[in-house]
Structure 1
Amino acid sequence: MSKNLSRLKCITISFTGMLAASIPAAAAAEWSIVGLGTLGGTYSVAQAINDSGQVVGNGNGVDRAFITGANGIGMSYLDTLGGTRSFASDINNAGQVAGYSFTDTGDLHAFITGPNGVGMSDLGTLGGDYSIAYGINNFGQVVGVSSTAGNAAYHAFITGPNGVGMTDLGTLSGDYSAAYSINDSGQVTGVSSTSDAPAQHAFITGANGIGMTDLTTLNGATDSIGRAINNSGQVVGFSGFYNDFTGYQLVEAFISDAGSSNISGLGTPIDSRADAINDMGQVVGGINSYCDNCIRSAFLYSEGTITDLSLLAPVVEAGWSELSAVGINNHGQIIGWGHLEGAPGGGSRAFLLSPIVAVPEPATYAMLLAGLGLLGFVLRRRYQIV
């Protein structure tokens, strides 16, 4: 090895060290929180967010679903299917929205919109009177629940791209099922009753909704629900004990391995639920969701660390409390609703909570520029000598 090459490698290593030293400063995140408004009503709730930061949700301004522009800016109403009310459940990266609306005959039907929430199409049913859409992927495949012929039962469904066609996903040997989320491969998660009545278990399907696998439960619990799935096939949800008189008890948030039926607890406190996951495996959900006389809060799970979002300094300083977090995009932006101190009407308000990546200090920039300059000088000298 020549002395020049050795010197080059030493300087490159030194520069790499300087760059590595700057990474913690550049990756350190603060947070900002903004209310999304109410469109004249007394409350609003955000339900889903895409990677542009478009948010959909519901409020009581005129009891219709809403959509925002990028990064939660601007709020406008969606249409209905002829009735007076509509509800938004999910949004994909094209801005197509899935949800449900009353029709002009008073039935409740699932819908899909065009890009950016424009227009609204009725998805029909599985032969019964009603259907509800809960999830949509980037190809416009929609999942949800519908009554079957004669309203004999209700089953999970999946559609083709852009909401075309509706297929019954069946059940886990029980009477009913519902689908809550779908990824870009068409894998679906939700909940189904089992033959061990009255238990209900979370499930995952294969691509395009084919096959239904029981995700079972945590720690001997009787019930579980799959709430969201990412593009790696990781499912999040919650598991606990349920009966018709007391509801859910001892609920615990869970996450599955990618594309498998192995689930494990997130390490959140008992009485927690996971509601959303992004492609980096970051999870948001609620704490004290089913606890009587408890203060509700929200959490972020990221790389094994759990953060109570209600305790973040910007959240507290802005007067927000009792947050419910139900969505997170691939940029780490989180949506949900909470109580805002001094808000007129006293109802819940939809929020957008965004991480702010810190800008490196001027001294760090100077060090990086100096390193680049030195490296460039040595490269020029080396080629001149060689």
Structure 2
Amino acid sequence: MQTQHAFETIRSRSAKPALQGLILFAALGLASNTQAAVRYSITDLGTLGGRLSEAYGINNYGQAVGTSLTASGDFHAFIWENGVMTDLGTLGGGYSHAYAINDTGQVVGASQIAAAGYDWHAFVWENGVLTDLGTLGGRDSVAYGINNAGQVAGWSETANGGIHAFVTANGAMNDLGGSYSEAYGINDAGQVVGGAVLAGGDFRAFLWENGEVTDLGTLGGAYSYANGINNAGQVVGGASIASGDFHAFLWENGEMTDLGTLGGSFSEAYGVNDTAQVVGWSDTASGELRAFLWENGVIADLNSLLDPADAAVWTLTIAYAINDAGQIVGTGLFGDQDRAFLLTPVVVPLPAAFWLMGSALLGLLGLSRGKDAALACG
């Protein structure tokens, strides 16, 4: 957690020794409760031989998934672990993308199949085997989310050409219905989130649970969609506000909270972990695209939380997912190349506690009598 510092100067000209003793005990107490700042170390996940890669998902063991250009110029799904990026292959076509991974190492995404027409099918990858999940009767399907029970959520074309959200049970797709619907996330309780067209034509974020669909509303505008859900049932996504701009949101217990922007007009949230840390992207006041972390009511540009040496060569543009350890994956510019990144929080001890104790001790000994004792409160 990023810690802000307030500095308070305590005048000691008229302080009595007893008061200075109290200052010392207060200083010791503050020092023991001083929190450390958090920065992020960054790992370039590399590529499969091409110049571009993007990371979309991460599990609680730090395994990351996404897509990368290969040396031949095709996009292939990958899994990254301990510095090694592994090509997951395809279902017979030229391209594939991986969007999510659960804690057992199952990966979901979409791949072109061998059939003419470049159809895309949702897949599950496990232990080196890529399994085609099929469709709801149409040509295409995509899997975006998977929980730790192996349930998969996504969307598929139907036999009559419609697009419907689905969730799997025992490997089979269950149609969630609607005139048009897409599912993007699922938690361990089997709650599914996404977006759907309402009777009036507006596109709204929804929460599906045991056959019941809840419209999550908007931030004052007409449109919204949900990208992710954690195990506490907190939902994140994007929604239009009254002015027509689009903002990231966090929905909980019937209330949608506007997460704001990094100074611009637009933002979107993609991932939320079980401690309600939210990641996504926002534009800045000057129109630049930047990855953000939202926590406890504060939205922060992730670039500002990098070590200055890393910030000099990286520009983090989109954060897609965050695990319960606070590790974040996404896409940024590394030099002139789009690269998948992994951020890992690093606790940075604050020196304020030592200054605080030292200055208070000087006050107790009377050495600072008639002088100013500067106490840094962390």
Q: TM-score range by the shorter chain?
A: 0.7 to 0.9
Give the aligned CA root-mean-square deviation in angstroms: 2.7
Q: Quick one: distance in 2 between partners of 1:323 and 1:96?
A: 27
Q: Which of the numbers 167, 182, 195 marks the counterpart of 2:186?
A: 182
Cα distance in structure 2, aligned partners of 1:317 and 1:284: 18
> In the alignment, does 2:205 pair up with 1:202?
yes
Deviation at 1:23, TM superposition (A): 4.8
User: TM-score w.r.t. structure 2 length?
Assistant: 0.79
Q: Does the alignment pair 1:165 with 2:178?
A: no
Paired amino acid for 1:306: I
Matches within 5 A, 1:1-386: 21-25=31-35, 27-61=36-70, 62-70=74-82, 73-105=83-115, 106-115=118-127, 118-151=128-161, 153-160=162-169, 164-171=171-178, 175-197=179-201, 199-206=202-209, 209-219=210-220, 221-240=221-240, 250-257=245-252, 260-268=253-261, 269=263, 270-288=265-283, 294-314=287-307, 317-341=311-335, 346-358=336-348
Q: Is contact 2:218-2:241 (8 Å) kept? A: no
**What percentage of residue pairs aligned between the two structures are identical?**
43
Number of residue pairs the alignment of both structures matches: 322
Q: Helix, strand or coil: the match of 1:196?
A: coil
Contact 1:90 1:136 in 2 (8 A): yes
**Aligned-residue offset at 1:18:** 6.7
Shift of residue 30 of structure 1? 2.4
Measured in 1, the distance between the counterparts of 2:281 and 2:45 equals 20
Q: Say which SS state the counterpart of residue 274 (structure 2) adopts.
A: coil
Contact 1:22 1:360 in 2 (8 A): no
Name the SS for the 1:41 alignment partner: strand
Taking a change above 3 Å as real, the CA distance of residues 313 and 80 of structure 1, as seen in their structure-2 partners, is: closer
More strand by share: 2
- Structure 1 unaligned spans of 5+: 1-14, 243-247, 368-386
Are the equivalent residues in 2 in contact too, given 1:249–1:271 (CA < 8 A)?
no
1:333-357 Cα offsets, whole Å, 9 max, x none, are 111111112xxxx331111111112
More helix by share: 1
The separation in 2 between residues aligned to 1:19 and 1:160, in whole angstroms, is 54
Q: Which amino acid aligns with 1:185?
A: A
Structure 1 CA distance for aligned equivalents of residues 279 and 40 of structure 2:
15
Give CA-to-partner distance per residue, 1:293-342, whole Å, 9 cap, x none: 8211111011122211122342654411152111111011111111112x
Q: Deviations over 1:239-286 (max 9, x none)?
A: 1279xxxxx9510111111xx332121133531111110000000110
Equivalent position amino acid for 2:80 in 1: T
Post-superposition CA distance 1:114-167 (Å, at most 9, x none): 15xx2111111111111110111111100000011132x010000025xx1110
Q: What runs of 5+ residues in structure 2 fail to find an aligned partner?
A: 1-24, 358-378
Aligned-partner Cα distance in 2 for 1:349–1:100: 20
1:202 maps to a residue whose letter is A
CA distance in 2, matches of 1:149, 1:317: 49
**Matched residues in 2 for 1:138 and 1:340: separation?**
33
> Do the aligned partners of 1:81 and 1:103 also contact (CA within 8 Å) in 2?
yes
**Structure 1 Cα separation of the partners of residues 247 and 188 of structure 2:** 27
Letter in 1 for 2:266: D
- CA displacement at 1:215 relative to structure 2: 0.7
- Alpha-carbon distance in 1 for matches of 2:306, 2:38: 12
Partners of 1:312 and 1:350 lie apart in 2 by: 17
